[in-house]
Amino acid sequence: NTDTLEFINEHISRADLGIEEIAIGEEIQVKRGRRRDDDGQSIHFQQEVMKPSLRFFHQSKSGNLNSFSYNEESGGTQQMVFLLSSLWETFKIGEFEAFDELENKFHPLLVREIIRLFASDVNQHGAQLLFTTHDTTLLDNSFMRRDQYWFTNKNDCGESSLTSLAEFGARKNEALMQNYLSGTYGAIPYLEDLIQKNKPLKSNGEKEQKFEQRD
């Protein structure tokens, strides 16, 4: 709807995606299916139908606006449109929103701006956000409160438990990201070496020689 599109346009133009405007247009889509003929035989058919679609306008170096379809845009742009449309519905009535891996396809700085929307004037009805993330740059005392960070620990049986950062008594000037990566708060994977030790990688020359011998 137009209200959702207005909200998306307002915020996507600030996301440095190179998009001047998103508009609603129409495009031909091919509808395929099966049907029964007069003799009861199943036949395939296809039909061209006009359906509403999004058009993305980018400004070229010459100043002209070039139009692209939704499918021609990158995965990050598509994800941003989906997220903003979802957030608009959330902010309208103050709903609870949950996202798994909020940083997926987004730059860390863009993720911060998305989170900041919930503390801005846009959020007039007290909408709340819960998200999971692997983005350690968000561990920042100046960005969020300590009681807003929760770590997920998984035991040997695959059971998960949550622990608040506030339970560790972290100080205001503590380097949260460095402490987390060093294991101070737990909730980090214990990885085995992905490359077997004492087995050096072969050079390109050795690989080429092997192929020549096979030929």
Average pLDDT of span 119-127: 95
What DSSP assignment string belongs to 99-131?
Answer: ESSTTTTS-HHHHHHHHHGGGSTT-TT--EEEE
Query: Does pLDDT of 128 surpass 90?
Result: yes
Find tokens 């508009």 and name the residue: 23
Query: Does pLDDT of 108 surpass 70?
Result: yes
Q: Whole-angstrom Cα distance, residue 99 to residue 131?
A: 5
List pLDDT tens digits, range 155-174. Answer: 889 899 999 999 998 888 89
List pLDDT tens digits, range 33-77. Answer: 887 877 778 888 788 888 888 999 999 888 899 999 999 999 999
